[in-house]
Amino acid sequence: MSDPDQELRVSKIKNGTVIDHIAASQALNVLAILGIDGSGGEEVSVGMNVPSDRLGRKDVLKVEGRELSPAEVDVLSLIAPAATINIVREYEVVEKSRVERPDVVTGILSCPNANCITTAGEPVESRFEVLDDAVRCAYCDAILREDLAEHIATD
Amino acid sequence: MRHDHLISARQLSRGDVETVLDRAAEFDAGERAARDGDLLGLCFFEPSTRTKMSFDTAMKRLGGDTVDMGTVESSSVKKGESLADTVRVVAGYADALVLRHPSEGAAKLASEFVDVPVINAGDGAGQHPTQTLLDLYTVRENAGLDDITVGIMGDLKYGRTVHSLAEALTEFDAHQHFISPESLRLPRSVRYDLHESGAEVREHTDLETVLPDLDVLYVTRIQRERFPDENEYRQVAGEYRIDAETLEAASDDLTVMHPLPRVDEIAPDVDETKYATYFDQAHNGVPVRMALLDLMLPDGNGGGDLA
């Protein structure tokens, strides 16, 4: 069931990505994963806590001129496991996929353990094993359960 | 099972542990190896004289030799070289590397950059698997590893030695008791892992009730810096000190262990009792590390069993 009000609130995009069925209130964290804070000039529409048949409430993101890398999709899957990703070209959805929970996420997240070797300027990407309700650093075993978005590497 | 590197005691199955301990027992009984020409690289990024001496001794007793990168102050690390670069250079000089480093995960990282075996000799608050192996060896030599009751006492919150030993003992038929002040209990994550491994975690705040049941008492140091003030430290630490009198209630066969160095948690009068095993335990580091090196270095007598 589509809500006509919602259609009005979030306008169509020409080329880019629509991330739908994001867990309610996680849209800003998803933007953080994508490294989007508005300063790059991207056109972004954000719908938060909008009604959804499947999730009750959900967030929706539409980003003009941007497609997602596999590493970004991996981390996205951790905070928005039900998300669907629609690639839009010339106003048409050309590709639609659901995120899959990976076994390992590489890059993107940084280790919460300040004494972990991966935070010391070594030539390695961070690597986390994905557990049921958390991720675990492949180097120091530190567990990251909540606040994933706060540990998104900013570089 | 084959291992290219020894990073954590957790990677070792019961069979792996027994392979190492059996080989260690052979060396302990006087077996010689002919590893002349083999070189072990000692990479100690923080001081640990005892562990370094023990590896140095083990390699030389195998007939091989060691090269030492020296102290951090005198090396390229001081100039800002990454660990990944340092180990890649040193790996070109040696047939295996022993690494001690102040950061957790350092051994794992090093192992990804080199083609020679890396043995973790302690990474920050992380893993120190050769300590666990020598502890297990000592337990086996004195009490066996079947149907034993082990008490682990002291600082159970911060001691990585304790976490690693407790986890390793779950592979064997060992009943474990944990004795500590409330504030230094096993961390929740460790209790969880022990439960997951099928162990029953029995926690106590005093030794008295369980002492008569123990085959092994593993004592660790309670550090001053874990307490907000001196008085509290003195009061709490005092309750977890043992002396010859404390041990009167113990079984005749009790084995008292300690990873050393001790301060005053085991009174000197215990040294003279038949229970005291901590100096043997420290000496056991040599045959256990000999066994490990012999199993992990390429093309040796034992080569291929573990390496």
Q: What is the DSSP string of B5-42?
A: -B--GGG--HHHHHHHHHHHHHHHTT-----TT-EEEE
Say whether B108 and A143 touch across the interface (CB within 8 A): no
What's the pLDDT score for residue A9?
56
Q: Which of A115, A117, A141 sits opposite B109 (nearest CB)?
A: A117
Say whether B124 and A140 touch across the interface (CB within 8 A): yes
Looking at residue A105, what DSSP letter applies? E
Say whether A116 and B189 touch across the interface (CB within 8 A): no
Strands (E), B196-240: 202-204, 216-219
Q: Which of A124, A141, A143 sits opposite B109 (nearest CB)?
A: A124
What's the pLDDT score for residue B121?
96
Is the model more confident about A34 or about B17? B17
Say whether A117 and B83 touch across the interface (CB within 8 A): yes
Q: Indicate whether A35 pLDDT > 70.
A: yes
Q: Which residues make beta-bridge pairs with B101?
A: B123
To the query of whether residue B277 is one of the catalytic residues in this protein, the response is no
To the query of whether residue B50 is one of the catalytic residues in this protein, the response is yes
Is A117 touching B (CB cutoff 8 A)?
Answer: yes
How many inter-chain contacts (A to B, CB under 8 Å) are there? 51
What's the pLDDT score for residue B301?
46
To the query of whether residue B61 is one of the catalytic residues in this protein, the response is no
Say whether B105 and A123 touch across the interface (CB within 8 A): no
Question: Which listed residue (B2, B49, B79, B188) is catalytic?
Answer: B79
Name the burial class of residue A92, with classes exposed (0-12), middle (13-18) and buried (19+) by CB atoms within 10 angstroms of its CB. Answer: exposed
Residue B226: which region, alpha, beta or left (left: phi > 0; alpha: psi -120 to 50)? alpha
- Rounded mean pLDDT, B58-80: 88
The band of B303, judged by pLDDT with boundaries at 50, 70 and 90, is very low
**What distance in Å separates residue B160's CA from the closest CA in chain A?**
13
Q: Which of A115, A118, A123 sits opposite B124 (nearest CB)?
A: A115
To the query of whether residue B128 is one of the catalytic residues in this protein, the response is yes
Q: What share of chain B is helix, strand, coil (3-state, %, to 5)?
A: 40, 15, 40
Ranges B24-28, B92-96, B159-163: which has the least confidence: B159-163
Is A138 touching B (CB cutoff 8 A)?
Answer: yes
What's the pLDDT score for residue B162?
92
With CA atoms as reference, the chain A residue closest to B112 would be A124
Phi, psi of B53 (to 5 degrees): -60, -40
Q: Indicate whether A119 pLDDT > 60.
A: yes
Is A115 touching B (CB cutoff 8 A)?
Answer: yes
Name the burial class of residue B115, with classes exposed (0-12), middle (13-18) and buried (19+) by CB atoms within 10 angstroms of its CB. Answer: exposed
The band of B42, judged by pLDDT with boundaries at 50, 70 and 90, is very high
Q: Which residues of A touch B103 (CB under 8 A)?
A: 115-117, 120, 140
C-alpha B121/C-alpha B101 separation (Å) is: 8
Say whether B105 and A118 touch across the interface (CB within 8 A): yes
**What distance in Å separates residue A125's CA from the closest CA in chain B?**
10
Is A139 touching B (CB cutoff 8 A)?
Answer: yes
Name the burial class of residue B4, with classes exposed (0-12), middle (13-18) and buried (19+) by CB atoms within 10 angstroms of its CB. Answer: middle
With CA atoms as reference, the chain B residue closest to A142 would be B104
With CA atoms as reference, the chain B residue closest to A141 would be B105
pTM of the entire predicted model: 0.85
ipTM of the prediction: 0.84
| Unique residue bearing structure tokens 């009730």 | B209
Q: What is the dihedral of CA B180, B166, A138, B52, to 10 degrees?
A: 90
The band of B1, judged by pLDDT with boundaries at 50, 70 and 90, is very low
Radius of gyration of chain A (CA): 16
The predicted-structure confidence for B138-156, as pLDDT tens digits, reads as follows: 999 999 999 999 999 999 9
Q: At what angle do helices B129-143 and B285-296 cross, to 10 degrees?
A: 120
- Rounded mean pLDDT, A138-152: 86
**What distance in Å separates residue A147's CA from the closest CA in chain B?**
18
With CA atoms as reference, the chain A residue closest to B111 would be A139
The predicted-structure confidence for B189-247, as pLDDT tens digits, reads as follows: 889 889 988 898 999 999 999 999 999 999 999 988 888 888 889 888 888 999 999 99
Say whether B103 and A115 touch across the interface (CB within 8 A): yes
**What distance in Å separates residue A146's CA from the closest CA in chain B?**
15
Q: Rounded mean pLDDT of chain A? A: 87
Say whether B104 and A117 touch across the interface (CB within 8 A): yes
Q: Indicate whether A130 pLDDT > 50.
A: yes
- Rounded mean pLDDT, A49-63: 92
Q: Which residues of A touch B101 (CB under 8 A)?
A: 117
Looking at residue B223, what DSSP letter applies? P
Is A121 touching B (CB cutoff 8 A)?
Answer: yes
